[in-house]
A and B are shown apart, each in its own frame.
Chain A
Amino acid sequence: MRIAIAFSLAIVASVGLIAQQKPRPDLSGTWTNATITPLERPQGVTDLVLSEDAATRMERNIVARRDKLNEPSDPNRPAPPQGGDGSTGAAGNVGGYNNFWLDPGDRVAVVDGQRRSSLIIDPPDGHVPALTAEARARQGARLKLAAGRGQYDHPEYRPLAERCLLSFGPTTPLVPNYFYNNNIQIVQTPDHVMILMEMVHDARIVRIGGTHLPKHIRPWMGDSIGRWEGETLVVDTTNFPPQQNFRGSSENLHVIERFRRADARTINYRFTVDDPTTFTAPFTGEIPFRAIDELIYEYACHEGNYALSNVLSGARNEEKRLGTKQEK
Chain B
Amino acid sequence: MRKTVAAIIVLAGLAIASRTVLAHHAFGAEFDPNAPIRLQGKVVRLEWVNPHTWIHIEVIKDGKPEEWMVEGGTPNTLLRRGITKDTLAYGTEVIVDGYQTKDHSLKRANGRDITFTDGRKLFMGSSGTGAPRDGSDPTEGGTKPVPKKPGGR
Contacts and interface: CB of A to CB of B under 8 A. Distances in A.
18 contacts: A27-B152, A32-B131, A42-B10, A51-B4, A72-B115, A90-B27, A98-B72, A104-B18, A162-B24, A180-B74, A199-B24, A294-B149, A297-B76, A299-B76, A304-B49, A304-B52, A311-B25, A313-B102
A102 B122 contact: no
Contacts of B13: 42
Contacts of A94: 27-28, 30-33, 98-99, 110, 112
A32 B16 CA distance: 21
Contact of A293 (B21, B25, B95, B150): B150
A294 B146 CA distance: 9
A36 interface: yes
A179 B24 CA distance: 10
B49 A303 contact: yes
Contacts of B51: 164, 200, 299, 301, 304-305, 307
Interface of B: 3-4, 6-8, 10-16, 18-34, 36-38, 47, 49-54, 69, 71-74, 76-80, 95, 97-99, 101-106, 108, 110-115, 117-124, 129-136, 145, 147-153
A80 B36 contact: yes
A91 B113 CA distance: 13
A162 B145 CA distance: 29
A183 B132 contact: yes
Contacts of A91: 20-23, 27-28
A131 B77 CA distance: 35
Contact of B110 (A79, A97, A314): A97
Contacts of B79: 297
B108 A306 contact: yes
B118 A42 contact: no
Contacts of A310: 30, 101-103, 106, 108
Q: Report, nearest first, the 8 A-B pairs whose CB atoms are least far apart.
A: A92-B28, A101-B73, A314-B102, A304-B49, A29-B152, A84-B33, A96-B21, A291-B152
Contacts of B105: 313, 317
Given A265-B151, A294-B145, A83 B34 contact: yes
A300 B50 contact: yes
A36 B15 CA distance: 6
A103 interface: yes
Interface residues on A, range: 35 or more
A34 interface: yes
A78 B105 CA distance: 23
Given A61-B15, A100-B121, A306-B54, A316 B49 contact: no
B131 A105 contact: yes
Nearest to A87: B21
Given A293-B134, A306-B54, 18 more contacts: A42-B11, A45-B6, A54-B11, A73-B115, A73-B119, A75-B118, A77-B97, A77-B113, A90-B21, A91-B23, A91-B28, A97-B111, A102-B21, A179-B22, A264-B152, A265-B136, A297-B79, A310-B30
B22 A294 contact: no
A141 to B, nearest CB: 21
